[in-house]
Amino acid sequence: MPRLVDHSERRRAIIETTWQLIAERGIENASMRDIARACGYAAPGVLAHYFPNKNELLLASYELICERTNERIDAATVGRRGLDALLALCLEIIPAEDLTTVEAKVAVSFWQRAQTDAALRHVGREALSCWHASIMTCLAQAQAEGDGPGTADPDLFADELLNTMMGLHITAMLDPGAMSGSRQRRLIESMLERIAVSCTA
C-alpha cells in the first residue's frame, strides 16, 4: 500500500529548511538546488510540486514567518490586557530568543528583496499594520483601566514602539553581542514604563 504523503506538512518542512539556509547564507545564496539538497531531494525539480519557482517559495516563507509570529502573539496575550499584553506582544516580535533571531535574519533578507518585489512588500506591510492595530488596542485598554498610556498621542507612540522593534532586527543582526536578548527586552520595558510613569505622575 503506498504511503500517504501529507503535502501541507511537506510544504512546511521545505519552508523551514529555506529559513535555515537564508539565515546561514543570505537570500541570494540559497538556491533551489541547495534547498532541495538540504531537504533530502536529489534534484530541485521535486520542489516544483509545491512551489513553481523561488519567488513563490520565498513568498510562502515570509507569509509563514508572519503567521507564526501572530500565532505566538495570540498565545502569549491570552488573559492579558493593557501594558501587560503589550509587553507580551513585543517580546514575540523582537529577536531576543533563538527562534525569533532566526526569523529576524530571514525577515531582514526579505526586507531588502521587498524593495523590488511587490508581493513581499505587501506581506510586510500587512504584518506591520496588524501589529500597529494590536498595539493600539493594548494602549486603549491600558488607558481605559487607568494604567496608561501617559502620552497625548497613542498613535505616535505605537509608531515609535513598532519602529523601535523593527530597528532591533537590524542592530541585533549587526552587533548581537551589544544588543543581546536581555538588552532588547530592557529597552522595550523601559519604553512601556515611561508611558506608565508619565500617566501616574
Q: Is the pTM of this model over 0.85?
A: yes
Q: Which of 94, 70, 87, 65 is nearest to 148 (CA)?
A: 87
26-35, 76-85, 117-126: range with lowest mean pLDDT: 26-35
CATH number of this structure's domain 62-200, picked from the four choices 3.60.9.10, 1.10.357.10, 3.60.20.10, 3.30.230.10: 1.10.357.10
Question: Each residue of 43-80: pLDDT tens digit?
Answer: 878 888 899 999 999 999 999 999 999 999 999 999 99
Q: Which residue has the cell 500517504?
A: 4
Tens digit of pLDDT for each residue in 134-163? Answer: 999 999 999 888 876 666 789 999 999 999
Backbone angles phi, psi at 138, to 5 degrees: -65, -40
Each residue's pLDDT tens digit, 97-106: 998 998 998 9
